[in-house]
């Protein structure tokens, strides 16, 4: 099940700055919208540089962070070595829908943020949802965030530029654009998984989910967010 994206992410740090901005904005929004509190047990799939953990580590009961990148897992473990309540675990890049490592745990909030665009197809997204249902507490919430719904990177870049001007992160924006253009990301960009709103609605119907599609949880204003209530 390996794909070129899981290879790409083994040591890709060019997006870290923009991810930090994105995650802080997102974390503030979900904290408020879903009343995230000291009772919550968070699962973060595709944790990257652990910015969600930076934000929530002292605010929730515990966080389990998973990633296919051993680089990110190691740096997370190092950064949070003083925290018993935050753990980082590696998932197999060749078998990334195998969640054996967390099979005995239950979570109240599950976050999959800017990750499913690296999956191969919508069937993998459906499999992810089924796997998350198994590790969700009754009444738990799965937030699949930052879903690319349309073709063409241009719209993404234009809207990000607008936000960069309004919120003062132009430098991070230009670093992001340069990295996207001059790293192997550029060759791979056509392989990003896009799921239209209609297809998201089909998934909801087909799987009989209690769910909603939300706007504006991240800095990518044109991307969508699928929130599922288990
Ligand atoms: C754009 S970053 C997002 C990081 C973090 N969620 C955030 O928003 O700051 C994508 C992350 O997903 C990870 N990733 C890519 N494919 C994955 C997969 N199939 N399963 C789990 N993680 C994956 C990458 O290693 C990377 O850390």
Q: With left for phi above 0 and alpha for psi between -120 and 50, is residue 152 left, alpha or beta?
A: left
pLDDT, residue 177, reads 86
For residue 4, give the 3-state DSSP assignment: helix
Q: Coil, helix or strand for 174?
A: helix
Distance 120 CA to ligand 1 centre (A): 14
What domain count does the chain have?
1
How many alpha carbons fall within 13 Å on the CB side of residue 51? 18
In a domain, 161, yes or no: no
Is 156 part of any domain?
Answer: no
162, part of any domain: no
pLDDT of residue 152: 66
Domain housing 55:
4-149+191-229
Separation of CA 14 and ligand 1 centre (Å): 13
- Cα of 157 from ligand 1 centre, angstroms: 20
pLDDT at 175: 87
Provide the pLDDT for residue 216: 93
Domain assignment present for 166: no
Quick one: which of 19, 102, 23, 91 has its CA closest to 55? Answer: 23
Ligand 1 pocket: which of 15, 55, 88, 115 to mutate (most atoms within 8 A of CB): 115
Give 45 Cα–ligand 1 centroid separation in angstroms.
Answer: 7
* Cα angle 53-65-219, degrees, rounded to a multiple of 5: 55
Give a three-class secondary structure readout of 109-120.
EEEEECCHHHCC
> What is the reported pLDDT for 185?
81
Q: Is residue 98 part of a domain?
A: yes
3-state DSSP assignment of residue 45:
strand
CB 188 within 8 A of CB 122: no
Cα–Cα dist 59/165, whole Å: 31
- What's the whole-model pTM score? 0.94
C-alpha radius of gyration, the chain, whole number: 17
Distance 66 CA to ligand 1 centre (A): 9
- Residue 43, classified by CB atoms within 10 Å of its CB into exposed (0-12), middle (13-18) or buried (19+), is buried
Q: Tens of pLDDT along the chain (230 residues)?
A: 557 888 888 877 778 888 899 999 999 999 999 999 999 999 999 999 999 999 999 999 999 999 999 999 999 999 999 999 999 999 999 999 999 999 999 999 999 999 999 999 999 999 999 999 999 999 999 999 999 998 767 777 887 888 888 888 888 888 888 888 878 888 888 889 999 999 999 999 999 999 999 999 998 888 999 999 99
Residue 88 placed within a domain: yes
**Is 158 inside any structural domain?**
no
Alpha carbon nearest to ligand 1 atom 14, residue: 46
- Is 225 within the bounds of a domain? yes
> Which residues line ligand 1 at a C-beta cut-off of 6 Å?
5-6, 9, 15, 19, 22-23, 45-48, 51, 67-69, 72, 91, 96, 113-115, 118
Where residue 225 sits, what CATH number does that domain have?
3.40.50.150
Nearest residue by C-alpha to atom 12 in ligand 1: 46
Query: How many Cα atoms within 13 Å fall on the side-chain side of residue 185?
Result: 18
Residue 66: strand pairing partners: 45, 89
Question: What's the pLDDT score for residue 200?
Answer: 98
């Amino acid at each position: 099940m390996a794909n070129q994206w899981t290879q790409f992410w083994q040591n890709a740090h060019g997006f870290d700055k923009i991810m930090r901005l994105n995650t802080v904005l997102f974390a503030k929004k979900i904290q408020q919208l879903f009343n995230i509190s000291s009772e919550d047990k968070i699962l973060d799939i595709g944790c990257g540089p652990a910015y969600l953990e930076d934000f929530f580590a002292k605010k929730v009961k515990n966080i389990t962070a998973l990633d296919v990148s051993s680089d990110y897992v190691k740096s997370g473990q190092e950064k949070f070595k003083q925290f018993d309540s935050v753990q980082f675990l590696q998932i197999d890049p060749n078998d990334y829908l195998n969640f054996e490592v967390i099979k005995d745990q239950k979570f109240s909030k599950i976050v999959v943020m800017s990750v499913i665009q690296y999956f191969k197809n919508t069937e993998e997204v459906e499999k992810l949802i089924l796997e998350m249902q198994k590790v969700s507490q009754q009444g738990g919430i799965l937030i699949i965030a930052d879903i690319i719904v349309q073709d063409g990177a241009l719209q993404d870049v234009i809207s990000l530029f607008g936000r960069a001007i309004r919120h003062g992160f132009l430098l991070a924006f230009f670093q992001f654009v340069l990295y996207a253009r001059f790293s192997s990301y550029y060759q791979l960009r056509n392989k990003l998984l896009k799921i239209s709103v209609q297809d998201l609605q089909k998934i909801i119907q087909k799987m009989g989910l209690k769910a909603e599609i939300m706007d504006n949880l991240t800095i990518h204003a044109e991307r969508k967010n699928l929130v599922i209530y288990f």
